[in-house]
């Protein structure tokens, strides 16, 4: 695992966007060689999307041959609801870039057969040969996508009933009315993300500090589902200073000492391959 | 071509009362939601149009225009409909001033509601201004043809012959039988406007409760505001307006017909009801000199139009674009408001704001390109470009 500790959340946004750009460009995608990207929603990745749009507009990266799979979506929420992840992805990313709509995959929470929808999603991921880079954020309780505490660490894409804590946390997006918060979501499983060739997790803010501690300093535990990525060969955690507050000094110092190496990961003229050994 | 999916890029569009950086997508003459295209149809635009950072606003809607470019509507509406395109007007109500019965019977049958194209703006129906007005506030209308509702609605039908293509009717609310007439008109989907009137506030309020919903060129051809009887102007702040109803008012912001302070009073008192109208006459777009309006000779002097040989103003010769600019300058309102006062608000008067005067999804693709000085650069109707300013 790599842990990249950056000064601020703004820099986390920029760093992660540069990394995504570099991965796409190094991959040299084409009509017969699509770069497959797993995408999150939420406030943490928002800044990264903003930066990616900026790089796209500056002509530094194209999404023409990028295929995307989103992590999750609410069940029974109209697609044009401002809290739906379709709405989020369209407004915060897709409408600004040159991605082909045929290459975009978001779980349909309004599908008549939700189980079928989830199975099809897994099927589509395998058909394209798996996900090259899966980007995720985490919740304060250490969940990745909607894999709430207690989720199986080998879970696949499925319907998930949301934890009471999540409903309460989300009520603010639904006029502070908890009865309006969707009770279920479709989500990729921990196992689905584990299958990606590389996983990049963004963690910012003091409220995520305890989750980061649980993710990297304690053992693998299904109550903190993000901890599963300790067993992934290519996990890249990007966090800001605030998110490190619960970590030991030793941990922080160790990873900060590696920052020179980490920064080479986003330098435009150095091919990534030599740095992508297993950590 | 109609099913071509067009994406206007690099523009700022007026939507939800805000000018915002957003692309505009159209197909089949309508504004469409690109999110649905993306996720449902999974297709991209057939044509992308670079707008070079222009503002895209709903096309102007002109509820009161008597003519222009040498023609008035008792003669021809084609030339005017075409000429208006260059001023950003995508829809209008040809306005016919007080005329003899024979003229009405002929003209009201001739002018039809019709969809616009490169030959002219949409015709939303006729605005008949008179002859049921007060002779003391006749303005430029010929007094020998002014009438009253002697036989109520029967007189109305006998005078006009048909109301099939009449959308707005201006009358003086103090005339006997006016309430019954208003009810009959509203039942036929005619918007009733009060004006050319000596009526006091009570007359105005009675007319509104009978169904009137518009005031014709506020301040002009009505009693001046008086603090003990505010007259029709008082409708802007009346507490007798039925719950949920908005009384709209046309206002001529040509720099001549309404003083800037009067524009500000109207704007600050009742911003939701304010509708910019030009009240332009056939001399719009013409040189100084004598011209015909209805049965009258008019004279253009120093950029103003007078009844020939007098000092009575008889309509403006300002374009809608000029009125928008003058209004914004005089009131200090936002650009958004000024544009909506000439598009969304008039559409609301006619009850068509789901289709016209808006860039909301599913609305008609009638819009204009403007630069930051609010000069009209292009005009589009039903998704086709019908005018562009030569560079």
Give Cα A131 distance to the centre of its chain.
12
Question: Which spans in B270-380 are helix H?
Answer: 320-331, 335-341, 344-349
Q: What's the pLDDT at B315?
A: 74
Average confidence score pLDDT of chain B:
93
Task: State how far the Cα of B192 lies from the Cα of B366, in Å rounded to an integer.
Answer: 26
CATH fit for domain B60-358, picks 1.10.1040.10, 3.20.20.140, 3.90.1010.10, 3.30.1330.60: 3.20.20.140
Give Cα A14 distance to the centre of its chain.
15
A269 in a domain, yes or no? yes
Q: Do B39 and A90 count as a contact with CB atoms less than 8 A apart?
A: yes
C-beta separation of B291 from B359 below 8 A? no
A81 contacts chain B (CB < 8 A):
no
A279 in a domain, yes or no? no
**Distance to chain B for A244, nearest Cα, Å:** 37
Query: Among all chains, which residue has been given the structure tokens 């409909």?
Result: B81
Poorest-confidence range of A141-150, A173-182, B47-56, B65-74? B65-74
Q: What is the pLDDT of residues B49-62, one digit of tens each?
A: 999 999 999 999 99
Q: How large is the average pLDDT for residues B88-110?
A: 93
How many angstroms separate the Cα of B183 from the Cα of each of A189, B176, B192, B212, B216?
Answer: 65, 14, 9, 8, 18
Q: Is the pLDDT of residue B245 over 90?
A: yes
Average confidence score pLDDT of chain A:
94
Strands (E), A109-255: 133-137, 158-161, 184-187, 198-203, 235-240
Q: What's the pLDDT at B74?
A: 62
C-beta separation of A227 from A1 below 8 A? no
CATH number for the domain formed by residue range(s) B6-56+370-388: 2.30.40.10
Q: Which residues on chain B are in Cβ contact (under 8 Å) with A108?
A: none
Poorest-confidence range of B25-39, B299-313, B324-338? B299-313
C-beta separation of B199 from B232 below 8 A? yes
Q: What's the pLDDT at B89?
A: 97
Element (H, E) at B26: strand B24-27
A74 in a domain, yes or no? yes
Residue A262: which CATH number?
3.40.50.1360
Q: Domain of A243?
A: 2-274
Nearest-Cα residue of chain B relative to residue A105: B39
Interface probe with A: pick from B10, B16, B20, B35, most Cβ of A within 10 Å: B35
How many angstroms separate the Cα of A241 from the Cα of each of A4, A42, A256, B339?
Answer: 10, 20, 11, 48
Q: What is the pLDDT of residues B267-301, one digit of tens each?
A: 999 999 999 999 988 778 777 888 776 667 888 88
Poorest-confidence range of A169-178, A182-191, B56-65, B258-267? A169-178
Instruction: Work out the burial of residue B63: count CB atoms within 10 Å of its CB; fewer than 13 is exposed, 13-18 middle, 19 or more buried.
Output: buried
Q: Is the pLDDT of residue B1 over 80?
A: no
What ipTM goes with this model? 0.88
CA proximity to A83, closest of A92, A241, B90: A92
A76 in a domain, yes or no? yes
C-beta separation of B275 from B341 below 8 A? yes
Cβ contacts from A onto B, under 8 A: 28
Report helix angle A43-57 to A85-92, nearest 10: 30
Question: Which spans in B15-137 are helix H?
Answer: 34-36, 78-84, 101-110
Q: Tell me what percent of the residues of chain A surpass a pLDDT of 70.
A: 97
* DSSP per residue, B242-300: PTT---EEEEE-SSSSS-HHHHHHHHHH-GGGEEEE--B-TTTT--SEEEEETTEEEEE
CB proximity under 8 Å: B 17-46 to A: 23, 33-35, 37-39, 41-44
Number of domains in chain A: 1
Which residue ranges does chain B devote to CATH 3.20.20.140?
A: 60-358
Q: What's the pLDDT at A161?
A: 92
């Amino acid at each position: 695992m790599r842990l990249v500790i950056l000064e601020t959340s703004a820099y986390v946004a920029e760093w992660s966007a540069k990394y995504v750009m570099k991965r796409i460009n190094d991959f040299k995608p084409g009509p017969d060689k699509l770069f497959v990207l797993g995408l999150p929603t939420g406030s943490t990745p928002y800044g990264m999307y903003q930066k990616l749009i900026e790089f796209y507009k500056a002509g530094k990266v194209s999404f023409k041959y990028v295929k995307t799979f989103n992590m999750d979506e609410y069940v029974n929420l109209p697609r044009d609801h401002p809290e739906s992840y379709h709405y989020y992805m369209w407004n915060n990313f897709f409408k600004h870039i040159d991605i082909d709509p045929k290459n975009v995959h978001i779980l349909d929470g309004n599908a008549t057969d939700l189980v079928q929808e989830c199975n099809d999603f897994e099927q589509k991921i395998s058909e394209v040969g798996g996900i090259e880079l899966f980007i995720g954020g985490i919740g304060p309780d250490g969940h990745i996508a909607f894999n709430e505490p207690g989720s199986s660490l080998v879970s696949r894409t499925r319907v998930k009933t949301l934890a009471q804590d999540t409903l309460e946390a989300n009520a603010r997006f639904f006029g502070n009315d908890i009865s309006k918060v969707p009770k279920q979501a479709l989500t990729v499983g921990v196992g689905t993300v584990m299958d990606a060739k590389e996983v990049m997790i963004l963690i910012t803010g003091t409220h995520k500090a305890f989750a980061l501690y649980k993710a990297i300093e304690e053992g693998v535990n299904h109550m903190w589902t993000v901890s599963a990525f300790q067993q992934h060969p290519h996990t890249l955690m990007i966090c800001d200073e605030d998110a490190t507050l619960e970590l030991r000094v030793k941990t922080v110092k160790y990873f900060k000492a590696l920052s020179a190496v980490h920064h080479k990961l986003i330098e435009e003229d150095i091919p990534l391959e030599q740095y992508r050994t297993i950590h | 071509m109609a099913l071509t999916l067009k994406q206007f890029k690099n523009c700022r569009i007026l939507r939800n009362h805000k000018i915002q950086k957003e692309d505009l997508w159209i197909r089949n003459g309508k504004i469409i939601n690109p999110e649905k295209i993306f996720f449902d149809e999974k297709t991209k635009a057939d044509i992308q149009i670079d707008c070079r950072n222009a503002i895209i606003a709903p096309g102007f809607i002109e509820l009161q225009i008597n003519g222009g470019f040498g023609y008035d509507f008792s003669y021809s509406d084609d030339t005017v409909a075409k000429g208006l395109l260059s001023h950003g007007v995508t829809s209008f109500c040809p306005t016919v001033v007080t005329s003899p019965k024979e003229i009405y019977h002929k003209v009201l049958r001739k002018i039809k509601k019709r969809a616009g194209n490169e030959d002219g703006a949409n015709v939303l129906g006729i605005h008949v201004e008179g002859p049921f007005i007060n002779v003391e506030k006749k303005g430029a209308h010929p007094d020998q043809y002014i009438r009253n509702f002697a036989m109520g609605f029967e007189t109305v039908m006998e005078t006009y012959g048909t109301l099939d293509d009449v959308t707005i009717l201006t009358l003086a609310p103090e005339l006997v039988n006016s309430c019954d007439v208003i009810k009959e008109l509203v039942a036929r989907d005619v918007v009733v406007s009060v004006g050319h009137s000596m009526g006091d506030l009570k007359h105005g309020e009675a007319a509104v409760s009978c169904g009137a919903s518009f005031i014709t060129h506020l301040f002009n051809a009505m009693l001046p505001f008086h603090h003990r009887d505010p007259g029709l102007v008082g409708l802007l702040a009346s507490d007798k307006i039925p719950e949920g109803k908005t009384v709209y008012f046309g206002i001529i912001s040509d720099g001549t017909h309404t003083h800037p302070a009067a524009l500000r009073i109207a704007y600050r008192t009742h911003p939701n009801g304010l509708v910019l109208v030009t009240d332009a006459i056939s001399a719009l777009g013409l040189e100084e000199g004598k011209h015909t309006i209805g049965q009258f000779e008019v004279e253009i002097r120093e950029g103003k139009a007078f009844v020939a040989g007098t000092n009575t103003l008889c309509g403006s010769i300002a374009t809608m674009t000029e009125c928008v600019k003058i209004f914004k300058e005089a009131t200090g309102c936002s650009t958004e408001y000024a544009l909506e006062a000439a598009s969304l608000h008039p559409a609301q008067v006619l009850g068509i704001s789901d289709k016209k005067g808006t860039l909301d999804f599913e609305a008609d693709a009638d819009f204009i390109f403007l630069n930051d000085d609010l000069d009209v650069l292009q005009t589009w109707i039903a998704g086709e470009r019908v005018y562009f300013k030569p560079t």
